[in-house]
Amino acid sequence: MAGAGGKTRQAARSSGGVMLIASILVLSVRSFARAQDFGYDGAKGPSHWGEQYNSCTGKHQSPININSLDVKKVNLPPLVFHGFDVAPKETNLTNNGHTVFVTMDSEVTPTVAGGPLSGVYEYSQLHFHWGDNDTFGSEDMIDNHRFPMELHIVFFKQEYQNARTALNHPDGLTVLAFFFEIAPEDNPMYAEFIELLGNVTESHQSARFDVPPSLKELIAEDLLHYYTYDGSLTTPPCSEVVTWIDFKEPILLSHAQVQAFRALQDEEGHPLTHNFRPVQPLGDRVVLFNTDEMIKEVDLDKDLPPEAGEGVDTNKLDTPIKAAGVGSQSAKDPNDRKHPRNGAPFPSVNHWSLLTSAMVVVTLLFQSTIE
């Protein structure tokens, strides 16, 4: 995405304030299971994960195939991003044998709130998934289409203190997911990132950014249109504690930039050419799509509509109607996580209509008596 260059990042990095640790977790959420316990091929592949991790056979697993014709369009409250435009003091890139992930020390810890989330979520780490070639590699699919690569930015709910503890709560984590598409030119925002991949070819190698990028520089510009659903980690232990937010607009990288990821090696020294889990059944879950279109919801239980000129201005997108929407259903209530979020009350009969019908019948009977 277009953004400030190295000089702007250096300026942001030098801003004052008390330094906070944005992530002390040297191990990623992906590494809560021991590295040798899973892989993407053979006896350690995804089809065998459930043999050691019961959660991997759960009914609300990720990734999924999102059918854009079956999603429920909603107007959720705006997502609130804090610290995404501040360059970290220090950023490290690490190959853990399953992916390459990024941790950072920052003066301002990035957080996200709003949208489908209840509470504030704090940055833990980000990592990538890719495939053997440019025709597949992402984990979630849109209309049966796989993208060549996918970025996952992992956040834990602040009240749970850290990502590991958050695994014990149904609303413990949220993942901001971004898809990649192939472009004819290199993306300059990923230039140093791609260069550092050459220094972490082998598993457990790390490298440090000379000019750490802000999160804003690594993601897409459109943060309004996204799909969201309740799911799981996509690696063991496959805990079903993740609110997924998949942004519609892809990030653009060149073929050469994506190809650099395929040069990394796994735990056994083999080329890490693909590291994505197959899609899982959607089950009884409902995928929401956040849009800026006005979603008109009529409450059939109401006797009369409000008079014109009173109440909310339905011509404005930033009215309370938009904020109420489906988001007011508290999708993050643990008691509601496993149930479809598009349930609606059975329409009731308007008693004004019944009264009108009764009056007509009485009138006809009275007339027939007179005749």
Listed in sequence order, the DSSP H helices in 248-350 are: 255-261, 320-324
**How far apart are alpha carbons 258 and 333 in whole angstroms?**
38
Which candidate, 284, 283, 280, places its Cα nearest to that of 50? 280
What's residue 343's pLDDT?
Answer: 39
Q: Transcribe 180-197 into DSSP letters.
A: EEEESS--GGGHHHHHHH
Write a three-state SS string for 232-243.
CCCCCCCCCCEE
Quote the tokens at residue 139. 């984990």
Quote the tokens at residue 217. 């520089």
CB 86 within 8 A of CB 214: yes
What's residue 123's pLDDT?
Answer: 97
- Which amino acids are annotated catalytic? 98
CA 234, 237, 242, 246: dihedral to nearest 10 degrees? -10
What's residue 297's pLDDT?
Answer: 58
Give, for all 371 residues of the chain, the pLDDT tens digit.
Answer: 444 444 444 444 444 333 333 333 333 344 444 444 899 999 999 999 999 999 999 999 999 999 999 999 999 999 999 999 999 999 999 999 999 999 999 999 999 999 999 999 999 999 999 999 999 999 999 999 999 999 999 999 999 999 999 999 999 999 999 999 999 999 999 999 999 999 999 999 999 999 999 999 999 999 999 999 999 999 999 999 999 999 999 999 999 999 999 999 999 999 999 999 999 999 999 999 999 988 765 444 544 444 443 433 333 333 333 333 333 343 444 334 443 343 333 333 444 444 444 444 444 444 444 44
What's residue 293's pLDDT?
Answer: 87
Q: pLDDT for 193-226, tens place per residue?
A: 999 999 999 999 999 999 999 999 999 999 999 9
What's residue 295's pLDDT?
Answer: 73
pTM of this structure: 0.73
Domains of the chain: 64-293 (3.10.200.10)
Task: For residue 310, count other CB atoms closer than 10 A to its CB.
Answer: 7
Which candidate, 270, 212, 279, places its Cα nearest to that of 46? 279
